Amino acid sequence: MVTRAKSGISKPKIYYISAFEIEPTNLKEALSNLIWYDAMKLEYNALVLNNTWTLTDPLLCATIVGCEWVFRNKYNVDGSLQRHKARVVAKAFDQQPGFDFNETFSSVIKPTTVRVILSHAITSGWFIYQIDNNNAFLHGHLEENVFMQQPPGFVSFNPAQVYKLNKAIYGLKQVPRSWFQKLSSTIDNMGFSATKSDPSLFTKIKNDIIVLILIYVDDIIIIGSSSAAIASIISSLNKIFCFK
C-alpha cells in the first residue's frame, strides 16, 4: 500500500493514498475517472469565464500551438489532500521566436533580498503575510497573436477550428513576463515603487508605515509595520487577482 509520511519532531503521521489520489498518466485515464474529469471541467470553465480565448478558423500563416492536460494533486501543509488540479498547458516548443513571442522574463526575488528583509522584519516585530493565486498567469495580456489547438477532451463541434488566445495561458514562453507586467503595474498604481537593486521588490512608505512586497513568480510575500495597512493592500489586490 502506498503511503505518505510527514516528518517532524513528533511521531510521523501516515496518510494512505486512495485510488483517487493517483495522478492520471494520460488523458484516457483522466476522462474515465469522474473526480479528475470534474477537475478538468472546473479548469475549462474557469478559462471560459476568464475570456481566455475565442474560437475561430486558423490563419494559413499562423503557428498553431498545441496543448495538453497536466494533472497534479495539491496537498495541505500537514500532508492531507487539498484538491485535484487539472491544468491546460500550451506546448511552448511550437512557438517561434520573433513571431509568436519576443521578450521573456520571470520575476524571481533574489535569495539575498529575502534573507535580509525577513531578518529585519523578525527583529523589528513586523507582520509577514504570504498570498498565492491559483491561476496567476491567466491574468496576463498577450501582445502577440497566438493560436492554440482546442484542449483534448473538450473539442467543439468543429475540430478544425482553433482558439485565438485573448489572454496568457500556462506554458507559453511570454506568460511569466505578461503576468509580471500586469501585477507590477497594479502595484505601481497602489503607490509602490520597484527597487533598483531588485526589480522583484516593491516598497511603499507613507505616514511612517512601511510595506514591502516580494514577488517570486506567482508567490507573493507582503511584509510591513502595520497589519491594517497590509490587510488593505491584500483586499485591493484580491479584487483584481483573487488571491488566497
The proportion of the chain whose per-residue pLDDT surpasses 90, expressed as a percent, equals 39
Q: pLDDT at residue 70 above 60?
A: yes
The proportion of the chain whose per-residue pLDDT surpasses 70, expressed as a percent, equals 82
Q: What are the tens digits of pLDDT across the range 36-56?
A: 999 999 999 988 988 889 999
Per-residue pLDDT at 96: 61
Per-residue pLDDT at 78: 85
Which one, of 230, 203, 227, lies nearest residue 215 by Cα? 203
In which band, very low, low, confident or very high, does the pLDDT at 95 lie, cut at 50, 70 and 90?
low
Q: pLDDT at residue 4 above 60?
A: no
Per-residue pLDDT at 114: 92
Per-residue pLDDT at 3: 44
Quote the CA–CA distance of 206 and 221 in Å, as a whole number.
19
Q: What are the tens digits of pLDDT across the range 98-148?
A: 555 555 556 788 999 999 999 999 999 999 999 877 666 666 667 778 889
